[in-house]
Structures are given as structure tokens and as C-alpha cells.
Structure 1
Amino acid sequence: MFDKLKSKLHRHKSKGKNDDPKAAATSNPGKENEPPAPAAPAASETPKQDEPSVEQKPTTDTPKEKTSEKTETPPKDRWDIALKQLPPAKQEKLRALGMDKLSSGYVESEIDDLVGLVNKKQEECEKKFWRVSIGDNDIVLRNYTTKIVGWLEKAGDIAIQFAPPQASMPWSVVKSLMQIPVIGEEQMGALLGTTEAIVRIVSRGQVYEQVYLNNDSDEAESKLSQSLENALIGIYRTSLDLLADSGSLFSQNTARRTLEAILNPGNVSGGLSSLSAQEDELLRDVQACETRRSAAADDRMIGMLDCLNAPLVRVDENVQKLLDKTDETDRQDLLEKISTVKFGKHHDNVRETRTPGTGEWLLQNEAFHHWEETSSSGIFWLQGSPGTGKTYLTSRVVDLIKSEMEDLPRNEGFAFFYCNRNEANRRDSLSIISSYVRQLATSASNPDSMQTKLKELCKQAQQSGTTLSFDACQEQILASSNLYSKTTLVIDAFDECDQDSRDKLIEAFNELLAESKNTLKIYIASRPDPDIQSQLQEEQRTSLTIQASQNAPDIERFLDEQLQKLSKKAAFVGKMKTKIIERLLERCQGMFQWASLQVHQITRCRTESSVWKRLDNLPEDLQKAYDEIWEQIETLEDPDKEFVKRALKWVAAATEPLDSKCLLSAVRVGSLDDGGISEDEIDEQGLLSLCGNFLIIDPESYWRFSHLSVVEYLEAAHQWSKPQAHLHVANACLSLLITAYENEDPFTTLKHETEYDSEDEDNKPPEWVDIMDTGNRFHRYARHHWVEHVHEAKVTEDSPLAMSLKRFLGAPEESSVQYRRWLGQFRKEVFWSGDMLDSSGFQTSGFDLTKFTDRESTYAYGSDLVFASELEPSDQPVFAMCRFAFDTILTEWWNSPAIDVSQKNDLGHDLLTIAAIGGSVAICRRLVEKGAQVNSKQSFSIYGSALVAAAWWGHTDVIKYLVEAGADPNIHLNSQEGWADRGDDADGESCEAEDATESDERAPEGWFASPLVAAVEENNVEATKYLVNEAKADVHKKLTYDGYGNVLEIAAFKGNYEIIKCLVHAGADVNKPTLHPYSGRNIDRVVGNGDLKTIRFLIEESGADVRAPLPGSTVNILVQAVNTKKLENVKYLVEKCHVDVNEGSEYETPLVAAIKTEDLDLVEYLLKSGADVNKTCDNGQTNPLALATEREYSAIVRLLVANGADPNQKDS
């Protein structure tokens, strides 16, 4: 009803934006079923010059009335009229609370006071984690406070901007209402819900009175106006009656009934239910008056109505405190480190191909509208069969939410993700959840700021040499949802996630819904799936299955657009368009993909008769439509058919999306047995035409399958598989490398290539397009990714691929010229191509930059940095056999007596260590059988031993084999960092004297003191657990490794809860001093890392002593906690562990440390907890007030002074 009124009122605004999300789904913030305010009326084409505009306050001068001498009548005080209709006892009660005061002159101060009271209630709710469940509604109390403040601000804006006449509005009574003490969440919910209803009515009523019941209005005495006046006075009377009885509404016995009346007014009798019914009646009277009011309303009325209609917006002050303004460059760098998934581009790709108007039915759907508008958290699950257009619908939902947030930025979080089975980073749980973290790091209302906690988390991960784990991401998303008033997560094609990833995400979604303090909305689009259904919590799930009748208008629009384009090429199609659409709609069964395939088939028709014949022979379903296309491919001539099948395999197996420059070259190359490189070439349109809509080119110019169902069809109907696709791609890559490097020396060409942008071939000379040139896009892909495709082909030695691999490598004892040239070219690329340092191709070459950037790629000899690889020297292919785990595919070579198991590569690693890096148990076993020593130590190397290498890389199965084969889990290695930094411990004895069997002057044996150190530093949980629990690695061993005194200290710095728990359960001492005693103990390290879960474990379960500082230490545990800027950690130590807030280190008290963080909340908390505002540090320096003044922290200065800071105190 209100939608029709709104469109009628805004005649002065533009109409008919077909794809405007908000036009499709009007919402009414503030109350889900509340009577909306009328929209602004149309303004006259020539506005009156003597009337104030929306932006102007009315002038104090009254223009002379030229047309009448009518004297003004005093404005009616309808609140006073309503008051006088109450029983005398209630009148007296309300007057005692301030109801008889005229409030217009005091609106600003009254509202400011009320906002302060509401904020205190919100803080109380958050501190006690209050939530209320009433029936199917899970109430987030913070939503009520947000709405209350929103309505208060509206009332203030209207009063200040438009100066309505004075009236006895009940602000003083509402203030008294907000001061009622409550002891439970239901009482608080009832109090806030009732307050929100009253404040909403006050705000709306003042506008309705001014617009429709103004004494100067011609309509003031009409019957319609009189009906509206009666309705207003009636609802005012009910509101005052509720306020008079407020004490009984919020008692423990009635609070739940009050909440039920707010949420389900039709099911409960009483004042609140009556109030809801009166609001509905009021709306009908407002609509009736609106139809009679002149369309030439003045700007003042328009401004008042627009102000009332604007969405409720409140940027919480607490949100501002938890955000940190960040430089654009720094912010982008941090965001890229969190996630590199191009989520925005994926959305753009869908939106650009979506027909305007698609998805209107979903936005108007009652189930979707309820999920979107209700204040309860919950999941909306959109289900649909393959090809029904779910992704287009998801993109429509994304546009709706984005437009709402962009038009009027709010304190809300929003993140979305489009899954894709064919792209690794779009089907993995960590990729998805880390993308959510990135998107929630900022909000529309604070685009230049990032969450302070997230910045610290990223900094810690960077210092620890790790990335955000899944659990850390989930914790951060929870922090975001607790920060924003509302958070919405969207995920499309959820069924295309890996099964394990899907299960992990569903578990995370359920936990987030259970733990979030504020409203959390999750939108999921997928095929119907019993696994998803069984795991999603039914009580929080709203499901909607796409029916053919629902998306038929979307398909009709799509067909109309596509046929209109086609008619420009074939005029006869235009004449038939209506009939074609009717026929296709009859048969499509709600499937976009089927309809799209039929349009493609019609494009092949050249006459009207052929179109009719096509329409008379439409395939029954999607399967039959694909059968038809496959039959057309099979009838092609052999060269064309081969191009199509190669293209399909390449798109299925490629490790990254392929553009035309790469794919059009790739389809020319077969295996050596198939003739190698074809002389034939094909262009983009030619290949697209041959593929029959199995493949498309997306808006980013990458080749993709037109739909997931195409891949599923090829797998089911023609027994295609991913390994088969990888087999072809691996053969093609090796075929090109063998041919290209056979006669040509690549180095001269490569030097020339660096003169051009490696990503911009458009500016290169024509000869660079040649497939044999190293600058060719496919050539680059082949030399970077051939290893992965060989592995994924999953073949044995009897496969033709094995013969190609052997030809490329050469022989076990000597490599081929092609292999040496390939590796030599990589050396040049590492040296010259800075833009390729993140390429996975470098791991293919053995440089491993993605794993060990500063140690393996640039290995130091003295002061020289030498580019090094596990594969060098290049004349020995056995290093590649070990590094790339070529076991079963090269069985015959492994039996060769020419393999010397003792030989080492240029990094000083023997074959067993390289095989451990590669992760192959089979190769490790072969080498041990050939005589490799499992405890061999390698001087001047990175890992020092095979077991250390396996531990660092997290290959638990290799670790287990080596230990069972006799490897010592406590092998003592003279690590480089320990060897360089060797010093004495607190007792003046050598830290490793008890273990050392050789002179301290012996050559360093790797970067790690033991296998356990390597596993812990790289956060390899399973490897750590095996070494500790099964192999009995020593958790007490003293270290001088990289500034650490023991392995628990390393784990504390890294912050991995599971590893810390494993070490502590094995006996690691949490109170043990660190390497340098002045740095404190292991528990101090943990607190400094900031993970509350780990802190609680160590204190509550492991006996960590937080109140006994280590003698001689300069570290104070509370100062450590303060420095992390995590208030919850500080509160835990103070309130649960009773740490003294005034005890600090020589250089910092906790209060001084808090001032240095600029965190006002921390400072305020410490002061409330008894921190001495005038206490200096132990060295007599750093006066808190002087520090804050010097650094110009004005808010902190005011806080310190207010708490008794002495401005005359000076540092000693």
C-alpha cells in the first residue's frame, strides 16, 4: 500500500529506473510492520521564493500577507489533549514526570540527554551479552537502541530545521522511562522495545500534524483531517497510557508478554497491541489526507517528509573507537595481504551479462523480504536446479544491498563471494572466509578506516611469517559482526565448494549465528543439497526454491534482449520474436541455460523456415540440449574437432583463467605422438563458433565454460575427468618445451623480451606472437605450470606422458639440453622479472618463493646474494625427480645404479632432504634403501637434515616414515642463527653446552635448531603433534635459535593455540624465562601476542603465574596486554587474575602504555579500575598527563584531568 503512495507522491522525481534495487524492494527501517511515513509530495514547478527550502531554517521575519488579514490561531497541543483524556491519577503521574512542560524550546538538550541514556543501556546489553528469543525471533537488543537513537535524531532534525510549534511532547517522561532499572534480558528487551515504539510515534506525529493538520491548511477542517486528528490523539493517548503504566510493563512477570506484544501484536491483547493496530489505522488516515493535499506543496513540507522517510542511520561512537584511519596505500597493501580474490570483478562479470529487471520477483518475495527486514539473525537459502539463474539472482541481491549502503552509508558490514568449481581460489574455504574478512575490514560509513584489531592481527601474522588461518578469519568476522549494527554475508554457488570446505563453512556460519551479539544475515544460493540442508540449523533458516513460474519473467526479458540483438543481423528473427519467446518459455522449465542454448542454435538458422523447424524440434531438457551440441561437434572435420576438444580440456584443467592469446596457441599443440605443434591457426570467433556455446568469453576476456552443468555433462555422458584433461595439458606443455628449447638458445630472446611489459603483448612486434618465442603467452604458461599438470595427470610409467617427461629431463645421470635451457631461463626470469616473484611457476622451478622467500631464493654466501634453487646444478635431473616427487611415473629411473644418494645440490641438501621437501614417502624409502643416511647433517644448508625439511614443509607422513627409519627427532643442529648469536644464559653457562658434541666453531647446519623448532615456526600443527606425542621430541631443550630460549617461546610468538596446547600438555613450562630474562617469561610472550583463548588456557589450565614478575625482567604482563590494544585481555587480567593496575615496568606503567596506544577506552578502563593518574614509571619519569599533553591527545588529557591528574606534577 505504501509503495503505491510513495510512487504517487514523488511525481517531481524521475521515474521508472527498471533495475533500481531500492525501487524493487522498498524497506521501512525502524520497525518491520510499522506504518511508514508518507513520501514527499511533488513540489510546484515554480517554488515560492518567500518560503524556506529544505536546507534553510525559516526566517524570523514574517512576510506581509497580501491576500488576507486572517489572524493566526494558536496551534493545537494534541499531546495535551490526549493527556487530559486519561484518568486523573495517570495525568498527575505523568505531570510529575515532566509532561506539562513545553518541550520544543528544549528539544536539542532533551534529545542529547536521551541519547546518552540509550547509549548506557546499550553498553549494559553488550557487557552482559544479552539476547532474547521469542518464538522464531532472535532479538538483538542493540538493534532497538540503534532505532531509538535514529528516531530521536529525526525528531531533533525536524524540530531544528523546520521549527514546528511548541507542544507538550513527552520527552521528559521517556527519559524517566529509560532510567527504570532492569535486571534481566527480557526486561531490557521490553523496555527498549516499548521506548522505540513511543519515540517512533512522537517523531512521526509531529510531521503528520505539520503537513496535514496545520491551521493554515485549507484541509484543516475537512472530515478527512478530523479523522486523522482523532487517530493521532488516540494513539497519543495510548502512548501516554503505556508510559503511565511503564513500571508494570517491565517487571519480571510481564516483560516477556510485553515483548510478545511488540513482536506479534495480533496474538496478544493489551496496550502495545492496541498501539500497533492504531498505527495501521493512522496510516490509512494519512493516505486519505495525502490524496486530498495539493501537489504544489511547499519545500518546507517536502523537507519534513523527506527527513522522516530517510532510513534510520546511526554511526555508533563505539564503532568509531574501533576503527583506525589508514593511508590509502597502506590500506590497500593490508587488504591485499588478507585476500587477493577479485570479488568485485567477479560480481561485475555477472552484472554486466544480466538483463535489466532480472530478479525483481525475488526482491518482492515475502520470504526474502522478511529475512532482509527482520532484526533477527538468520540464513536465507535460495535453491534452484542447474541453469535456473541463481547467480543472476544473487548478483541482484548484492546490487540491492550495495546500493542501499552507498546511497546512505550506514554502520553495517557487507561481504559477498561467488564460488566457482573450476578455480582453486574460488572453491576453498580459506579463500572464501579471508575474502569476507577483507570486505568487512572497512564499511561504507568509514571507507578510509580499517578495524584496529584486524590491522594488529595482520601485523602479527606478518611478523610471524604466516597468513591468517581459517580460525583467525572466523574470529575476525565475529568481531566485525559485533562491531557493526548489522552484517550481511552472501555466498553464491555454495554447492561448487569442495565438500570439506563446504562443511567447514557451514560449521562456521552456525557458530557465527550463535555467537554474534548483533544481527547477522547470511544469504546462500546453491542447488538443492541434502548435506547442506542437514547441516544448516533449521530454526535459523529460511528456504526458497526457484519455481519456473517465478523466474519466467526474467527468462522472457533475457530472450527479448538476445533476440533483439540477433534481429539486427537477421531481420526475419525480429518478425518472429514474439512467437519464438512464447515457444521457448513453454519449454524451458525455468532454466536460463536451456533458453540460452536455444538462442545460440537459432543463430545458426538462415531462414524463417529453418527457425520454425528448430522450434518444432526443441530438445526436451538440458541433457538433450547438450547431446545435440556434442553431436554437432562430432560431425566437424577432424582438425576442427581436435581444436574444440583441446579447448575444452584446457579450460577444464588450466591453473589460471586463459585469455585468447594463450588458448588459441595452446589448442595448436598436442603430444609428441600427435604430431606436436600444428601449423594451422584459428581465431577467437572461429573457436567460439566451433564450441557450440559450451565455452564463452567472459567480460574479463577469459575463456570459461558457459555453465557448471557443461562440465558435469562431459564427465557423466562422455567419461571425461580432470586427470584426463591434465594429461592432455601436461603433454602439450612438455611437447612445446621439448620443441622450443631443442635448437634455440632462449637467453638472447629473453633479454629482448624484458624490453616489453610482460603482461602487455599488444605493444610487442608481430613476431612475438609466434608460439616458439618465449614471450608468447602460452609459452610462458607452459614453462611455469608443466609440473603441476604432470602431477595431476596421475599416470604411471607405462603412459606416453612418462616418455615425454623422460625426453624432457634427459637421463638420471645427465639432463637434456631442453631441461638445462628451461631452468636457465628461470634463473634469468628471477633476476629480471620483478613482477613475477609471486608466480607459482617459481615453485615449479624449485625456487619456492611462495614458501621461503628470503632464505631459499636469495641464499647468502658472505655479503653476496645468490639466486639458488633446489634443482641446481642443472645437469643433474635427479634433483628435479626428488623435488617434484616424480616417483611412480619414473620407476625405471629410480632403479638405476647411476643415482648417487650422497650427492648434494648447490644449496647443500642431499637427495633425501630434497625428497622430504617434495613430500614423497615412496622416494624417501627408495633413497634409504639405496643407502641414504636419515640423520645426515648438511653444513651451510637451509634445513640441515631431511627430518627438519619435512617438519618445515609440514609433510607429516614423511616425518613418520623417517622417524620409523631411524631419524632422531631430537637431532642437534648447529643452526646458523644460533651459531651467529651464541651467548650465555642467565647462569653464565652455554645454553647448548649440555647438548653440544662439537666445537661452537663448527659450520652451521641449517637455519633450525631441531625438527620441532622447524615445525613450530611454520605453524605446522599436525607435524608438531606427531613429533611431540609420537616421536617424543624434547619440548624442554634450551635454544639460542633466532632470539628464542625454548620452543614454547617460539610458539608463544607465533600465537598458534593448538601448538601451544600440545607443547604445554607435553610439559613445556609456561613460566620459564625467555632467552633473554629481561624479556620476561613464556606467558609474557603469549600475552604480548594477544590471543585471549590461549591466555585463558595457560592461566586457568596450565598454572601460568601472572602476578609474580621475573626478577630482573623489564617486562610487565599487564603492559604487554595493554600494548596489544585488546581491552578484553586487559579486563581478564585485571578482573579475573587480579593483576595490579599500578604495577608496571621500569619504563612504563599500564596507564602510560595505554596513553601511548591512543586508545581512550583502555585509558578510561584502567582509571575506573584504580590506576593512579599521577603515578610515574619506576624510573621516576613519564608522567601520564605530561605524556598525553606532549603528544596532543586532547581527549585523553581531558579524561586524565577529570580523574584528578595534577597539572603541576613534573617528571623527576
Structure 2
Amino acid sequence: MEPISFTIGIVGLAGVFSACLDVIEKVDSYKEFSSESRSVVAQFKADKVLFMKWAQGVGIDKNTPKNGHNRFDNEEINSIVQEILSCIQEIFNKADGPNSFPDGIRFLTTRQKSQKPEGTISKKSKIGWSLRSKAIFISQVQQFGALVQRLYSLVPPDGLAGLGNVDKGTRDDGLTLNNKDAWFSNSQRVLMKLEKQAEHDIRKELDIWLNASWANNVYDSLIRRKLDGTCDWILSRQAFLEWVSPDFPSGTAKPLWINGPAGHGKTILCARVVQYLSEMLESPLAYYFCSSDLESRRDPFNIIRSWVSQIISRNRDAFELACGKREATDGRNASQTEIVDLFQTIVQHIPNCTFVADGLDECIWEENTVEFFESIKRAVAYASTRILILSRDEPEIRCGFRALWKGDSNQGLKEYQIHPEDVRPDTILFSRSVIDNKLSNKSETLRMELSQRMADRCDGMFLWVKMLEGQLRSGKNKKQLEATIDQAPTALDNLYDRNWAKIFHLPDKDRLRAFSILRWTALALRPLTILEITEALLIVDDDSCEDLPVDELPDTIDEDYISSEILGLCGSFLETRKAVPDQDLGSMTLHLAHFSVKQYVLSNMPDLGGLFTANKQLRVSNETFQSNVLAKLCLRYLKFPIVWQESL
């Protein structure tokens, strides 16, 4: 920068000062600042006052006599003052170019690959520009304050009240001029707050864009339900050890399919595997539990959406990649193609990602199975990625899984089939926990004998033990308990038949109530609470019913009501779950004991004429029919006047 000539004298300095002041007066960046930036704004205002007071004190303000300070007689000082004034003018005249803000927030810059139409500015871009403006202003204030300090040091004003200590290193705002670290640290704290808030806003926008669901609550619930010491057997199997190892000999993804019959504890096993991987792996991990309780089971690509969302939340590089992909969509929700494309980009750029999915057999998208697996195949080609699928051995899943690595001579279908001997130690532990819970009044010897008997009979099916739990009553003697175990059908369908027969032989009113409970539980888009199912059971498809019969609500929601009027009517088909250990009874959720129970119920649920749909091929059409029954009840519920009151 060329220094201003000394020949302009005091009048020239006054002109430069006036130009500086005009520029400073136009600064309004701070007007949009929130409370966390108040200290920066106060610093700017204080420096501005000091600057004006300095000009008045040295005689270059337009409202003061132009006799000037005697130090201006020194040509070197005069020249430096002129240069400082020019610097101040340039500081606040700067355009906010790409290098005007700190490296700490560089990730917020937008990498434009194409020119967007005017007016289409994304949320991320707006946040980036807002943060950039604040960062530039902080930098300007920092430089401005330092230069004002130099002016006071070079030409100390005479006789200004309140400013006598400025040239000694103390300012009226309490900060020491010589303590630059304090100012810098304060600025950095403000920048970090702004950066965190901006990133938080961007992540919220990404969540909306991805429209993904997570399985954290399902995972937490499964871990709480898992018995200590169970499910560790899989960690020592050779197929799992090869899959989890850091080696990728073929240079491409490593798939593993763990399959087994219904009721063999695959979902709990999956939760244990996820727990182990979370503790052992340093690379990104994502998991998903398909559930018949969730509406998301209708679209397999919700699994990939969830995987992507989890990796983005835990990995900075994935977050950067997602930001870039979202920018190209102008803010609209991500399509299926865009989700798969982002998934592919992530696994190709971030090595050793691990993806787990459980319960594909619980989904209702058979026609999309091949497309789903083909999409994964294209995405993970030549990527060092692990993929683990747990499900029943269904033909469409086997076909889709084989298609993943069809034609790859180095990579075949890696699978592990769960056998009864794999889970036998676990079934013994589970049987013992059930016996101890139900028959605590019996001797240790008898409880040990009965639990061993159950483990032998269940043939690896935890669900069989669970379904038998309701028949183990403490009032029975040893012979009766042994008969209960020995005479129970070993096939699940036969066991279900026996429970269904009990429901069918209930008194008419109780039988209809049981059917209604099972219908609501099987077809609700999410698990219903005890309070919700209690109210839903009051709705009847009867034109003579003009309002909700609230006088039929129970006196109280307690253990007796839940046991006798809900669980007791449906036998072992139902169970309740708590989100947290101390959750109140009314907020507990109602679930079918297993996905196979839902299949059985929908295959056997009678229509309103009393006919049964025993043919499994008709299950889907019967599900539609039963859904229509509930839809009519929901519409009738909306017509009840009492529903629109503030509370029942």
C-alpha cells in the first residue's frame, strides 16, 4: 500500500479520518447478531468511541480546531498515522471473499458445481453466509481495536477525561490492550458457538432431506431384554471371525447372511452383534432392525436411508459428502436414487464401513427384494465394506442375497445357518429365567429339572419357551408342570393353534374383545400404549352408538386390569414393554410376541361373518380387509362429539 504524502498536513489527515468515519458508520453487520455475540458488538462500539475521542483530542475531527497535535510535526509519525487511517478504511471496505473467515469454519463453504437459478439459495448456503458475515465482523473488530491502540500510542490525546490510561495499556472496557490473547480467546469462543449452531442447523436440514428412521429405541430395548451370558456363541464362529476381520482379500465388500428358523433368537442375537461391533470397531457402523411394528417395513430402501443417516451423524467426511449431495437437490427430499447414490459415495470414500440389518423377512416388499439387493451390489462394488443380514431362510431373500455377488469368482455367498446346538446353552439360561420368574415358590431342584426339560423340548426355539410361559402356574404340582411341558406341541403353528382354540372358546363378548385387541395390535402403524388400546376398544361399528361410551372405561389402569382384560384374553400372543424401567403402566406398549404370531393371526382372523382365512396365500388380502375394519372404526371415532373436547 502506498503511504499518503505528508504534504497533506492536518487538513489531509482530517479528510482521511472523515472518510474512515463514514465507512465505520455504515457498518451494520452486527445488527443481526444474537446474544452470544454481544461482547463483540460492545467491543466494536467501544473502539468506535475511542477512535472518535482520539480524533477530537489530537485535533483532526471536523468539529475541533485544526491546530493539531505537536507529534504531527514528526514526519514519520504523521506518515504512519495516515497509513493506519487508510488501513482502517480498507478493513471495513473489504468484500467478504472466500479467504475472509477462519479455517475453523471452512467446512461451511459451498462447493458449487453448477450455477443455480437466481433465488434458489439453500438453507446450508444461508447459514454459511450468515456465519461468514459474523466471522468477518469479528476479524474486523479485532484489527480495528489493535489499530486504535496504535493511534493512542503514537499520538496520545491531551486532557481527555477517562482516557488517560489508554497509552499505558488499559482501556475503558476493562480489557488490557497488551493482552491480545484474551481478545483472541474471546473471539474464538464466539466463533465456536456460531460454528456449532450452524452445523446443528445443517444437520437438522439433512435429517429432513434424508427422511430416515433410526432403530436406537429398538436396539436399547433388545439389549435390556437380553440375558447376561447369552448370544456370545456367534463371536467365536469362523464365518463371523472372517467377516469381522480387517482383511478384505478380494478387494470388495464382505457379506454375511445369518439365517435360522422362527423363534431362534435372531433379533436378540443381532443386538448382541451390534453391541460387540460398537465396542470393537473404530470404523463407522450403522444398523437397522426391521419390525412389523413399524410402517417403514413397507419400503426396503428405508434401511439404506437409516444406514446413511447414522454414518453421517458419526463421521465428518460422510457429513461433508452429504452436504454436497443435498446442495444439488435444491432442498427437496432425497429420492430413492439419490439415497443409493449417496450410499455408494460414502462407502467408496470411507473404508471399512459396517452395515447390519435384521428381520428382512418381517417386511412386506417381496416384489422389491431383488431391486434392493441389486442397489446394494452396485453401491458396494470394489469397496471395503461389511454387510450383515439376519433373517429367516426365505426364498426371496436367498435369491436376492445370491444376486449380490453373482459372477464374482472371488466372493461367494457367505452364510451361517443357526442350529439348535448353537443356541442350546442360551435356551437353558432362558428357560431357567422363565421358570424362576413363574415358579419362585418351587424348590431349586425342581426348577432346575423343569428348565432342563423345557430346553430339551424347545429344540432351540426361545419363542416356544416364551409361548409356554403363561401355562406355568405356581399352583400346579410337579406332575402337572411336567405334563404341561411334555404335552406342548413342538411346532410353533401347533402351539399357536392351541392358544387360538382357547381364544375361540371364550364367551362371545370376551372373544370379540380378544379379536379386537389382536387386530389393533397387529395392524397399528406403531405400537399402541395401554391407554390407547383401552380407548380404542370402546369403538364399535354400530350406527346406534352416537358417542364414545366413556362410562365403560376401567376404574383404573393397574396390573389386574392389564392381566385380566388384555393379556389374559389373548394368551401368549401378546406382551407389554416399557421404554424405561420406571415407566407408568398406561404408557407401556403392546406387542405381538413375534412376527410369526402376526402372520398366524392374519391367517386365522375371522371376517365379520365369522369366516376364517386359513389359506396363507390369502393372508395379504385378509390384512387389507382387517385394515379396512379398523379404518371404519377410526372414522367413526372422529365423529364422536366427546373426542373433540379437551379431555375425556
Query: Structure 1 residues 383, 566: closer, same or farther in 2, change over 3 A?
Result: same
Q: Are 1:343 and 1:418, in contact at CA under 8 Å, matched by a contact in 2?
A: yes
- Which of 333, 338, 348 is equivalent to 2:220? 348
1:69-92 deviation digits (Å, cap 9, x = unpaired): xxxxxxxxxxxxxxxxxxxxxxxx
Match of 1:439 in 2: 310
Match of 1:481 in 2: 347
Match of 1:531 in 2: 396
Match of 1:514 in 2: 381
Match of 1:420 in 2: 291
Q: Report 1:867-886 matches (<5 A).
A: none
Match of 1:625 in 2: 495
Q: Are 2:439 and 2:472, in contact at CA under 8 Å, matched by a contact in 1?
A: no
Q: Are 1:413 and 1:486, in contact at CA under 8 Å, matched by a contact in 2?
A: yes
* Alignment partners' CA distance in 2, 1:634 and 1:688: 15
Q: CA deviation at 1:325?
A: 7.5
Query: Structure 1 residues 484, 587: closer, same or farther in 2, change over 3 A?
Result: same
1:878-915 deviation digits (Å, cap 9, x = unpaired): xxxxxxxxxxxxxxxxxxxxxxxxxxxxxxxxxxxxxx
* Alignment partners' CA distance in 1, 2:500 and 2:444: 29
1:998-1034 deviation digits (Å, cap 9, x = unpaired): xxxxxxxxxxxxxxxxxxxxxxxxxxxxxxxxxxxxx
Q: CA deviation at 1:733?
A: 2.1
Q: CA deviation at 1:546?
A: 0.5
1:1150-1205 deviation digits (Å, cap 9, x = unpaired): xxxxxxxxxxxxxxxxxxxxxxxxxxxxxxxxxxxxxxxxxxxxxxxxxxxxxxxx
Q: Are 1:440 and 1:477, in contact at CA under 8 Å, matched by a contact in 2?
A: no
Match of 2:598 in 1: 711
* Alignment partners' CA distance in 2, 1:624 and 1:674: 40
Query: Structure 1 residues 645, 334: closer, same or farther in 2, change over 3 A?
Result: same
What is the DSSP-based 3-state SS (H/G/I as helix, E as strand, rest coil) of the residue aligned with 2:353? strand
What is the DSSP-based 3-state SS (H/G/I as helix, E as strand, rest coil) of the residue aligned with 2:636? helix
Match of 1:557 in 2: 429
What is the DSSP-based 3-state SS (H/G/I as helix, E as strand, rest coil) of the residue aligned with 1:531? helix
Q: Are 1:341 and 1:431, in contact at CA under 8 Å, matched by a contact in 2?
A: yes
1:370 aligns with 2:242: yes
* Alignment partners' CA distance in 2, 1:668 and 1:456: 52
Q: Report 1:387-426 matches (<5 A).
A: 387-405=263-281, 410=282, 412-426=283-297
Match of 2:633 in 1: 732
Moved segments of 4+, more than 4 Å = 324-328, 673-679
- Which of 324, 347, 351 is equivalent to 1:456? 324
Q: Report 1:99-248 matches (<5 A).
A: none
1:657 aligns with 2:527: yes
Letter of the aligned partner of 1:451 in structure 2?
F
Query: Structure 1 residues 328, 642: closer, same or farther in 2, change over 3 A?
Result: farther
- Which of 570, 595, 599 is equivalent to 1:691? 570
Match of 2:257 in 1: 381
Letter of the aligned partner of 2:236 in structure 1?
Q
Q: Are 1:417 and 1:435, in contact at CA under 8 Å, matched by a contact in 2?
A: yes
1:613 aligns with 2:483: yes
Q: Are 1:416 and 1:436, in contact at CA under 8 Å, matched by a contact in 2?
A: yes
Q: Which structure exhibits the higher relative contact order, with contacts defined as CA atoms closer than 8 Å and separated by 6 or more residues? A: 2
Q: CA deviation at 1:394?
A: 0.8
Q: Are 1:566 and 1:573, in contact at CA under 8 Å, matched by a contact in 2?
A: no
Query: Structure 1 residues 335, 587: closer, same or farther in 2, change over 3 A?
Result: farther
Q: Are 2:439 and 2:473, in contact at CA under 8 Å, matched by a contact in 1?
A: no
* Alignment partners' CA distance in 2, 1:622 and 1:735: 37
Query: Structure 1 residues 458, 503: closer, same or farther in 2, change over 3 A?
Result: same
Letter of the aligned partner of 1:548 in structure 2?
P
1:358 aligns with 2:358: no
* Alignment partners' CA distance in 2, 1:639 and 1:604: 28
* Alignment partners' CA distance in 2, 1:339 and 1:575: 54
* Alignment partners' CA distance in 2, 1:341 and 1:545: 29
- TM-score scaled by structure 2? 0.59
* Alignment partners' CA distance in 2, 1:634 and 1:745: 32
Q: CA deviation at 1:703?
A: 1.6
Query: Structure 1 residues 391, 635: closer, same or farther in 2, change over 3 A?
Result: same
Query: Structure 1 residues 650, 688: closer, same or farther in 2, change over 3 A?
Result: same
Q: Report 1:879-958 matches (<5 A).
A: none
Which runs of 5 or more structure 2 residues have no equivalent in the other structure? 1-194, 555-560, 580-587, 605-611, 614-618
Q: Report 1:62-77 matches (<5 A).
A: none
Q: Are 1:378 and 1:513, in contact at CA under 8 Å, matched by a contact in 2?
A: no
Q: Which has the higher helix share?
A: 2
* Alignment partners' CA distance in 1, 2:197 and 2:345: 19
1:466-497 deviation digits (Å, cap 9, x = unpaired): 21112211221222222323011101011223
Query: Structure 1 residues 573, 616: closer, same or farther in 2, change over 3 A?
Result: farther
Letter of the aligned partner of 2:630 in structure 1?
V
Q: Report 1:902-1051 matches (<5 A).
A: none
Q: CA deviation at 1:326?
A: 7.4
Q: Are 1:427 and 1:501, in contact at CA under 8 Å, matched by a contact in 2?
A: no
Letter of the aligned partner of 1:511 in structure 2?
R
Match of 1:1080 in 2: none
Letter of the aligned partner of 1:364 in structure 2?
S
What is the DSSP-based 3-state SS (H/G/I as helix, E as strand, rest coil) of the residue aligned with 1:451? helix
Q: Are 1:420 and 1:496, in contact at CA under 8 Å, matched by a contact in 2?
A: yes
Which runs of 5 or more structure 1 residues have no equivalent in the other structure? 1-323, 754-767, 771-1212
- TM-score scaled by structure 1? 0.32
Letter of the aligned partner of 2:319 in structure 1?
Q
Match of 2:24 in 1: none
What is the DSSP-based 3-state SS (H/G/I as helix, E as strand, rest coil) of the residue aligned with 1:696? strand
What is the DSSP-based 3-state SS (H/G/I as helix, E as strand, rest coil) of the residue aligned with 2:489? coil
Q: Are 1:419 and 1:494, in contact at CA under 8 Å, matched by a contact in 2?
A: yes
What is the DSSP-based 3-state SS (H/G/I as helix, E as strand, rest coil) of the residue aligned with 2:314? coil
Q: Are 1:398 and 1:416, in contact at CA under 8 Å, matched by a contact in 2?
A: yes
* Alignment partners' CA distance in 2, 1:605 and 1:593: 23
Letter of the aligned partner of 1:684 in structure 2?
I
- Which of 624, 627, 630 is equivalent to 1:723? 624
- Which of 484, 491, 494 is equivalent to 2:357? 491
* Alignment partners' CA distance in 1, 2:643 and 2:505: 42
Q: CA deviation at 1:684?
A: 2.6
Query: Structure 1 residues 673, 606: closer, same or farther in 2, change over 3 A?
Result: farther
* Alignment partners' CA distance in 2, 1:604 and 1:428: 45
* Alignment partners' CA distance in 2, 1:737 and 1:691: 28
Q: CA deviation at 1:630?
A: 0.9
Q: Are 1:640 and 1:690, in contact at CA under 8 Å, matched by a contact in 2?
A: yes
* Alignment partners' CA distance in 1, 2:279 and 2:394: 31
Q: Are 1:495 and 1:502, in contact at CA under 8 Å, matched by a contact in 2?
A: no
* Alignment partners' CA distance in 2, 1:418 and 1:576: 38
Q: CA deviation at 1:702?
A: 2.1
Query: Structure 1 residues 601, 482: closer, same or farther in 2, change over 3 A?
Result: same
- Count of residue pairs brought into register by the alignment: 410
Q: Are 1:652 and 1:722, in contact at CA under 8 Å, matched by a contact in 2?
A: no
Letter of the aligned partner of 1:417 in structure 2?
Y
1:352-379 deviation digits (Å, cap 9, x = unpaired): 1111222111111111111111522211
Query: Structure 1 residues 585, 674: closer, same or farther in 2, change over 3 A?
Result: farther
Match of 1:577 in 2: 447
